[in-house]
Amino acid sequence: MGKFPKDFLWGGATAANQCEGAYNEGGRGLSSVDVVPFGPDRFPVALGQLKMLDCDAEHFYPSHEAIDMYHHFKEDIKLFAEMGFRCYRLSIAWTRILPNGDDAQPNEEGLRFYEELFDECHKYGIEPLVTLCHFDTPIALIKKYGGWKDRRMVDAYAHYCEVLFQRFRGKVKYWLTFNEINMLLHMPFMGAGLLFAPGENVQQVKYQAAHHELVASAKAVKLSHAIMPDAMVGCMLAAGQFYPRTCAPADVQAAAEADRDNYFFIDVQSRGEYPVWAKKRMERAGITLQMEPGDEQLLKEGTVDFISFSYYSSRCTTVDPELMNKASGNAIMDAVRNPYLKASDWGWAIDPVGLRITMNSLYDRYQKPLFIVENGLGAVDKVEADGSIHDTYRIDYLRAHIEQMEKAMVLAMSPTIGVPCTPRVLVPALCTAHVGGAILGGMYAGRLCTTVEMTVNVPFDVMFAMASLVHKESAHHIVPTVVEYMEPFFQRTAEVESLVSEEVHKADKKRIEETLEKAKEIAKKMADGSAPIIKTLGDAVVGGSSQAVGSPTNCGRIAHELLNDGEKVTEITIEL
Which of the residues are catalytic?
180, 374
First to last CA, the chain: 32
b/e per residue 423-448 (b: at least 16 CB within 10 A): bbbbbbbbbbbbbebbbbbbbbeeeb
Cβ atoms of 488 and 471 closer than 8 Å:
no
Q: What phi and psi, each to the nearest 5 degrees, are found at residue 307?
A: -110, 120
* CA gap 102, 138 in Å, rounded: 9
To which H or E segment does residue 543 belong?
strand 542-543
Burial (CB count within 10 angstroms: exposed 0-12, middle 13-18, buried 19+), residue 159: middle
Question: Residue 183: what residue type?
Answer: M
* CA gap 207, 188 in Å, rounded: 10
- One DSSP character per residue, 179-242 reads TTGGGGGTSHHHHH-----TT--HHHHHHHHHHHHHHHHHHHHHHHHHH-TT-EEEEEEEE-PE
**Strand, coil or helix: 480:** coil
* CA gap 490, 512 in Å, rounded: 17
Cβ atoms of 73 and 90 closer than 8 Å:
no
Q: Which residues contact 191 (CB under 8 A, 6 or more apart)?
A: 135, 180, 181, 183, 184, 185
* CA gap 459, 545 in Å, rounded: 9
Q: Give whole-number Cα distances, 556 to 89, 282, 293, 415, 434, in Å.
A: 31, 42, 46, 8, 16
Q: Between 108-123 and 69-82, two packed helices, what is the crossing angle to 10 degrees?
A: 10
Q: Between 352-366 and 392-407, two packed helices, what is the crossing angle to 10 degrees?
A: 30
Q: Give whole-number Cα distances, 205 to 3, 49, 286, in Å.
A: 47, 14, 12
Residue spans of beta strands (DSSP E) within 320-379: 370-374
Q: Would strands 533-534 and 569-570 be described as parallel, antiparallel, or unpaired?
A: antiparallel
**Strand, coil or helix: 137:** coil
